[in-house]
Amino acid sequence: MPLATPPAPHLTRTRAAVTATGLWRAYGSGEAQVVALRDVSVEFASGAFTAIMGPSGSGKSTLMHCLAGLDTTDRGTVNIGDATITGLGDKALTRLRRDKIGFIFQQFNLLPTLTAEENIQLPASIAGAKADPEWLRRVIDTLDLRDRLTHKPTELSGGQQQRVACARALATRPEVVFADEPTGNLDTRSSGEVLRFLRKSVDDFGQTIVMVTHDPSAAAYADRVVFLADGQIVHDLREPTADTVIDTMRGFENRVPLAGEAR
């Protein structure tokens, strides 16, 4: 049980929650072809909080979509836990996303017709099940959503909505949570709340989180930052702070001045 043994993820890399090996992904064909991922191999440790950073068009979103089974790969394999997801059909992928993966998007995370609680229960409801009530209670309390449960999304602030999305992502205790710019639409204070929760869920619950962001201060909450440019991993930073992230980005920009040329 992850609760009983809070791991020190950056030290004990017991096993990988998500593994990508030799990923290639290109869009279009001929002259117009854009290669989004070039031979990317990366592991995301279980119980760790990893940020993926990179300039626009670097392939960071594509990488996340491929890892999460939302997009297909041209070459290479992706494993979630022990399962290889490359080559799975839509039905199997859908079930995998439902059972093994949690999602937090930048916006439009919630169904407007459902209450906060129903939104949190959504993945379980789709599966025709109920989330573990004890676990749910802890997540809701940690996110301080107890008195917002009956509210509709339109009655919640942006930060509250994103916290509901976090609760939903964690409700089924997925193998991994993918967060795509989760704070992109939030003010500084709400951003802090969401990021502190993500950090906390890694530290306290042993949750694995992969977050795409372009914000160095958000990346600083992670255990590790993977930098992408031009479809390739160009740097791997451990124990980041906002400053080291900014420095890395700056240095990385200086070192690779032709980053945009491939486009």
Partner 1 sequence: MLRATFKGMASRKARLVLTSLAVVLGTMFVAAAMILTATMEKSVTGVIADAFTGVDAVVTSAEDPAAAQGNTPAATLIPAAVLDTVRGVDGVEAADGDVSGQVNAIGDDGKLVGAFAPTIGFNWNDQSTGYNEIREGRGPEAENEVIVSGQFVTDSGLGLGDTVTAYSYSADRADYEIVGVFGLGGDRDSLAGETQMGFTTTEAQRLLTEGENAYMTIYVEGDDVSTDAIADAVGADYRVQTGDEASEEAAEGFAVVADVMGYIFLGFGLVAVFVSVFLIINTFTIIVAQRQRELALLRAIGAARGQVVASVLAEAAVIGVLASILGLGLGVLLGWGLASLVSSTAMGGLPVQLQVPATALWALAVGIGVTVLSALVPAVKASGVPPVAAMREAVNPPKPLRGITIAGATVTAVGAVLVALGLTDNLGGLGLTGFLAGVGIAFVGITLLTPILSKPLVGLLGAVMSWSFSGRLGKLNAGRNPRRTAITASALMIAVALVTGIATLVSSFKATTEELTDQNLNSDLIVMGQQGANIPTFAPETLAEIKALPDVAAVGDLYGEFFGAEVDGRPTALFASEDLPTSLDIYSGTVAEGSVADLPDDGLVVNESAAADRDLALGDTVPVTFADGETAELRIAAILDDSLLTDGWWVAPAQIEHFTVPKPMQAYIQVADGADVGAVEDQVDDILADEPEVSVANNADFVDQQTSQLDTLLASVQVLLALAIIIAIIGVVNTLVLSVLERTRELGLLRAIGMTRGQARRMITVESVIICLFGAVLGIAVGIGLGWTVQQALEEEGLTSFALPWGLIVGYLVAAVAVGLLAAIAPAARAAKLNVLNAIAYE
Q: Site for partner 1 (CB under 8 A): which residue of 123, 159, 216, 240? A: 123
- One character per residue 37-66, x = contact with partner 1 (rule: CB under 8 A): ----------------------------x-
28 binds partner 1 (CB under 8 A): no
- When computed from its CA atoms, the radius of gyration of the chain, rounded to whole angstroms, is 18
- What DSSP state is assigned to residue 3? T
Rounded Cα distance, 86 and 31, in Å = 27
**Residue 36 binds partner 1, judged by CB under 8 A:** no
Neighbours of 214 (CB within 10 A): 17
Indicate the residue among 7 and 158 with the shorter CB distance to partner 1: 158
Q: Which is nearer to partner 1, 94 or 241 (CB)?
A: 94
Closest CA to 27 of 217, 231, 228, 198: 231
Enter the tokens of residue 45.
Answer: 């440790």
89 binding partner 1? (CB under 8 A): no
How many residues belong to the chain?
263
Which residues in 161-180 contact partner 1 (CB under 8 A)? 168
Out of 1, 4, 56, 90, name the contact with partner 1 by CB under 8 A: 90
Nearest distance from C-beta of residue 95 to partner 1, angstroms: 7
Return the structure tokens found at 18: 């998500």
Alpha carbon 122 to chain centroid, angstroms: 18
Alpha helices in 85-228 (DSSP H): 90-100, 116-126, 133-142, 158-171, 188-205, 216-219
CB 70, min distance to partner 1, A: 5
Secondary structure letter of residue 222 according to DSSP: S
Given the rule CB under 8 A, which residues bind partner 1? Answer: 65, 68, 70-71, 90-91, 94-95, 97-99, 102-103, 105, 108-109, 111-114, 122-123, 125-128, 168
